[in-house]
Each structure stands twice: as C-alpha cells, then as structure tokens.
Amino acid sequence: MPFFLSHLQNAAVRDRNDKRIGTLKDLVIEQVAAVPEVLGLVVKKASDLIYLPLKDVDRFDRQGVRLSLEEAFIPPLPLPEDKVFLVRDLLDAQVVDINGAKVVRVNDIVFSQLKDHLFVSGLDMGIWGLMRRMGWARALAWFVKMTGVKVSEGIIPWDSIEPIEKETTKVRLSVTSDRLTRMHPADLADVIEDMGHQQRHRLFGELTNPQLADLIEESEPHMQSSILHELDPERAADILEEMEPDEAADLLGELTDEEAQSLIDRMDPEEAADVQHLLSYEEDTAGALMTTSFIAIDEELSVGDAVRWSRKELAEAEVISYFYLVKADGKLSGAVSIRRILLADAHVRMKAIASKQLVFAHAHTPAKEVVEMVTRYNLSALPVVDFNNHLIGAIAVNDVLDYLQPEK
C-alpha cells in the first residue's frame, strides 16, 4: 500500500514511550539515485529543526511517526544541507515528465516501504494529490462516489521523471540531466519553453554541441534566438557550424546585423561563407529557403562513379533524394532520383537516366510558388539556380512545410 508525503507532513513524532517530541517537517533523500531512499527526517522540536536518521524510526503510519529511541537519547545531528529535502526542494517544484514530454508540478510524493527502508517511488501530479494537499481528499472521494465522475490518478513513476530545481531554493537535484539529454530534440524543445532562465542555462551546459544544434533546429523561432543569446559567442558559433546552413542562416537572420556578423566572424570560414551567402537572399524566397548541403554531379559521370564520388557528401548532405546534374560550366542540366540511381546499371551515364522534365526554382522565386511546384509535381526536393542558371542550392520539402500549414 503506497502512502504519500501529504500524510506525513506535520504528523506527530513520538518517542518509544509514546511521548510527543515534535512534528515532522521534511524528509531527506540521497541526491541522485535510481530509486531514492529516505535517509532521515527533519523534525520540528520546540522551535528547533533536528535531523533524525531513518534507523531510529520504529514505524510510520497515518497516526504519525514512532521512534525506537527515548527522547533523551536523540543524537544532536546537524541538518544534512547537501542532501535533497523533499518538501523544501521537490514538493511544488516542476519536473519533466520524460514520457509525456511536458513540464508538470509536483502535488504530492509517493513512498513505498520495503522492510525497514522507505523509498520514493513516484510523484503525484494529479487532482487527487492536489486535493490531499488541500485536505480535501475525503470531499473528493465523496464527490466521486456520488457522481461517478472518473478522476484519474496522476502518479508518474520516479524513473520517468527528471526534477528541475526550484527557482527559490536551487538545490541541485541531479548530477546530469541524463534523461533529458536522451529525449527527442522536438520533445525537449517543448520542455525548455517552460523552464526558468537558470534551469535552461544548466541544461545547455550539459548538452553536447550536436545535441544543442538539434534542439535549436526543433525550437520555435523566438526561442531559437533567445537560446543563442544565452550561450557565450564562441559556443554559439560552434553550434551554428553544427546546424544545417539554411537553418543557421534563418537563425542569424533573426538577429541584428551586428550580432549576426560577430557570430559569423567566429565561425569556420568555409561554413561561414555558405551561411553568409544564404543570408544575402530575401526572406520568403527560394534563396532563403534553400540549403547548400546537397549533391551536384557532373552530368557526364557514370552512375557508379557518381555514387563513389559523392559517398562522403551523401553521408552529410541535407537533400539526398536527388542527385542534381550540372554541365561543365556549372549550369543545372538535370535531376536523378535516388531510386533511379539504385535501379540503374553502374556504367550508364547519369545524363541518360535523368528525368525528362526538369523543375527548378530561381533564387528569387517566392516561397509560395516553391510550395506550389513541390506539391504539384510531388517532389521531395527542388533545385535552385541563379540568373545564369548555375545550380546554387536545393530546397528540401520539409523546409517548406511551414508554408503549407494553415496559419495558427
């Protein structure tokens, strides 16, 4: 039978002779543990707070706590300030529900007892927990019985939560945000929206650069630039290098020219040049949407050579559904889908298997027309040329999805 912190809070603490010593104020757990064990109690005795290790407790029940000591033998122990105090640090704090990918508040804490040990087994985020805290659990039980309304339990097991420390106490609740860093970047992006500045700052410190780059790509635009502001410029530049050039360019476009330039200056020159080039296109045009991370191949190459030649780029490129063919002078001449390449003989020339109709956009083509082309011809990517018909980029269909969704 599980029991709850709300049952213990302010319960009477008695010694072995049933003499009342004080009231239970808090429970102390180990900082980090897969299943956190309760180490001891904080008891308010007269006007002092004293610490009692769990080994001195005889039993817990709804009536309160009974110790196995006499009052006179209670050792004078200092409060273990470096540990986590459940009421002070965890109750009413926010935690990340890893499976639900959302930030919730702790209404109550669930314990399970195993022989002489007491463990935190889960956290209660639901209405029941709330009502227990308010002292209205009975009223709710009565209401449920009378009306038959279902009020679901909101208990989340300990192993699927990641606590976030309270803004007001800031006791570090975990050593690494291991569970957070393993979340899908899109889920994590939702979660950080609800965190305070300090908490986000700590999390960023624990993410690797590629992880942070993924997180930024998945975040809302206003969040993206704010994350970038929170990083020191060197790291921000490293992260921009990790990002796809078009995403990096979009993000830099949100900043003031001055800020963007200072970050570009810190980037690797090659990556910086790509990004800067993309930045020069006007917003909502093919040029601004495109990426420079795609595969361009001499049209005269054989299929086998083309694949061999582009293997390294294939591993990193953003647009991989087509190989785009160029003439010796860099002009776009055709597109070959990956499917055709896989089906073709290795010695056939690329030129020979290119699609008959070539659909492409100019750098200044408005985003709306790009979307129309992509949907009408059912393409997964679209090449982009400059005014000399030189191939300069490609647009992946997922980069135009935003224009497809109806405005919120």
Q: Which two tokens stand for residue 229?
A: 């502001």
Q: State the binding string over 175-214 for other proteins (x if CB under 8 A, else -).
A: --------------------xxxx-x--------------
Measured distance CA(164)–CA(195) in Å, rounded: 8
Q: How far is the CB of 342 from other proteins (least distance, A)?
A: 40
DSSP 8-state class, residue 407:
P
Q: Does 151 bind other proteins (CB under 8 A)?
A: no
Burial (0-12, 13-18, 19+ Cβ within 10 Å), 128: buried
Q: 115: which DSSP letter?
A: T
Q: CB-wise, 97 or 300, nearer to other proteins? A: 97
Q: Give residue 194's identity as a one-letter amino acid code.
A: D
Name residues contacting other proteins, limited to 281-340 (CB under 8 A).
Answer: none
How big is the site for other proteins, counted in residues (CB under 8 A)?
33
Give ∠ CA 132-133-139 in degrees, rounded to 5: 40
Rounded CA-CA distance 65/175 in Å is 31
Three-state SS at 179: helix
8 or 344: CB nearest other proteins = 8
Question: What's the token pair of residue 297?
Answer: 């191949």
Q: Does 17 bind other proteins (CB under 8 A)?
A: no
Stretch that binds other proteins, among 40-48, 110-118, 127-135, 309-317 (CB under 8 A): 127-135
- Least gap, CB of 257 to other proteins (angstroms): 8
Q: Please report, as a single letter, which amino acid is at residue 155.
A: I
107 binding other proteins? (CB under 8 A): yes
Query: Residue 172, interface with other proteins (CB under 8 A)?
Result: no
Closer residue to other proteins (CB): 87 or 374: 87
Hey, what are 323's tokens? 């190989």
What is the rounded distance in angstroms from the CA atom of residue 251 to the CA atom of residue 401?
17
- 226 contributes a contact to other proteins by CB under 8 A: yes
- Per CB under 8 A, the list member of 65, 133, 301, 382 interacting with other proteins is 133
**Nearest distance from C-beta of residue 402 to other proteins, angstroms:** 14
* Residue 403: Cβ within 10 Å count: 16
Q: Under the criterion CB under 8 A, does residue 91 sit at the interface with other proteins?
A: yes
Q: Which two tokens stand for residue 12?
A: 């009477």
Binding mask 251-290 for other proteins (x = CB under 8 A): -----x-xx-------------------------------
Q: Which is nearer to other proteins, 50 or 125 (CB)?
A: 125
Task: Choose, by CB under 8 A, the member of 31, 169, 208, 398 that binds other proteins.
Answer: 169
Sheet holding 322-326, edge to edge: 296-298, 322-326, 332-337
DSSP secondary structure letters along 225-266: HHHHHHS-HHHHHHHHHHS-HHHHHHHHHHS-HHHHHHHHHH
Residue ranges that bind other proteins, judged by CB under 8 A? 91-94, 102, 104-107, 125, 130, 133-134, 166-170, 195-198, 200, 222-223, 226, 229-230, 256, 258-259, 407-408
